[in-house]
Amino acid sequence: MSFDVESLRAQFPILSRQVNGKPLIYLDSAASAQKPRAVIEAMTRAMEHAYANVHRGLHTLANETTEAYEQARKSLARFINAAEGEIVFTKGATEAINLVAAGLGQSLKAGDEIVLTEMEHHANIVPWHFLRERLGVVLKFVPVHDDGALAIDAYRHMLTERTRLVGVSHMSNVLGTVNPVAEITRLAHAAGALVLVDGCQSVVHMPVDVKALDVDFYAFSGHKLYGPTGIGALYGKAEALAALPPYQGGGEMIGSVSLEAITYADPPHRFEAGTPAILEAIGLGAAIEWLMAQDREAIAAHEHRLYARVREGLAGANWLKVLGEAPGKGAILSFTVDGAHAHDVAQILDRYGVAVRAGTHCAEPLMRRFGVTSSARASFALYNTEAEADAFVEALTRTQAFFA
């Protein structure tokens, strides 16, 4: 299967627009990726031809919508090599992590330990701080080396008989670092701890096999995966999900309800209270089917070429500081420009039609680790081109001239 970036770009309507009189160069996919026609059309088709609430109806539209919704669950399961019953639909990775934290928190006590890393997104820090505040749980953070690699030796020594869970990003949204999740999991399990992985960036850029990784939980969002916002998923091993109490109460998640008592549905429906994000789930299923039909190995090679091309184009730029240069990192370039705030850099780049992210990237502890208050971030996706990479280098060089 050959890789043709122009044919892929043609499937993303938004990429044909201009910004400030310049062709759009969208380098913010790590925050939220653009959507191909396959996703747009799947959601439109569902609204126009077969929409109703799921699971609780017996009429034709309800049956058709339920089938499309559950087909999306099957697609997600196939995408990461999970069983269908191990996929819980959520609003996104944030809700997925909160679901695990809230459920696990009901069995934790003061002194129990949660091991995280300095590179975590706030979504994989704040829910555990809730347990620290309310239960006295102890949080430990694995340090990050200067090149952005995780300090695995330090991690080994952090695991104790009190460690209950290890939470780690598969790929850092700031550094691009790809963490050795299989090894992290092996060590955690040897210590008797569960493992939760934030897979928001990794599922987009590399094949993920949750069975091979042996993780207990794996969370990811739809909008970074070329799907819509408001939808994501939590993978959980069947036994891990079965051990969790419900996260929210309402319709769909119950077995039976009386005035005296209730029983709960089995996973995954136990964790899907209320009317779900039906159209969004259908859109995510379409995005995954679309992505699985592409040559993902060729896409990954293309994205890495773009990153390498930009790094080469910026070689010798002594006004640039790059955050994260660990071997095998993903195609994410986080950087600071001497004498400039990241917000100003992003706004000036926007004049040239270049869209990058600026700020702390929901990773304030990591910013402090590298001695900066914020950074700009260019993230490369399958629809970016070499011409765009060159235009970004040129625009950034011109931007730096404003602060020289």
Select which of 19, 52, 362, 372 is catalytic: 362
pTM comes to 0.97
Q: What is the pLDDT of residue 1?
A: 46
Q: What is the pLDDT of residue 56?
A: 80
Q: What domains, with CATH codes, occur in the chain?
A: 41-292 (3.40.640.10), 295-401 (3.90.1150.10)
Measured in degrees and rounded to the nearest 5, phi and psi for residue 257 equal -135, 130
| pLDDT tens-digit series, residues 327-366 | 999 999 999 999 999 999 999 999 999 999 999 999 999 9
**Helix ranges (DSSP H) in 193-277:** 202-205, 210-213, 238-243
Mean pLDDT of the chain: 97
Structure tokens at 267: 């996973």
As a whole number, mean pLDDT of residues 299-306 equals 97
| pLDDT tens-digit series, residues 57-75 | 889 999 999 999 999 999 9
Q: What is the pLDDT of residue 57?
A: 80
As a whole number, mean pLDDT of residues 289-304 equals 97
Q: What is the pLDDT of residue 3?
A: 76
- The helix/strand/coil state of 216 is coil
Encoded amino acid at 337, one letter: V
More confident residue, 56 or 224: 224
- The helix/strand/coil state of 41 is helix
Query: Would you say the C-alpha torsion 222, 228, 299, 398 has a positive or negative sign?
Result: negative
The yes-or-no verdict on residue 9 having pLDDT over 80 is: yes
Contact 26, 35 (CB under 8 A): no
Active site residue 200: no
Sole residue written with tokens 């691009």: 176
The yes-or-no verdict on residue 2 having pLDDT over 70 is: no
| pLDDT tens-digit series, residues 19-57 | 999 999 999 999 999 999 999 999 999 999 999 999 988
Structure tokens at 366: 């990591």
- Secondary structure of 164-175 in HEC code, one letter for each residue: EEEEEECECCCC
The yes-or-no verdict on residue 319 having pLDDT over 60 is: yes
The yes-or-no verdict on residue 165 having pLDDT over 90 is: yes
As a whole number, mean pLDDT of residues 159-176 equals 98
pLDDT bracket for residue 237 (50, 70, 90): very high
Report the distance separating Cα 199 and Cα 169, nearest Å.
Answer: 6
Q: Considering only CA atoms, which of 309, 299, 239 is closest in space to residue 267?
A: 239
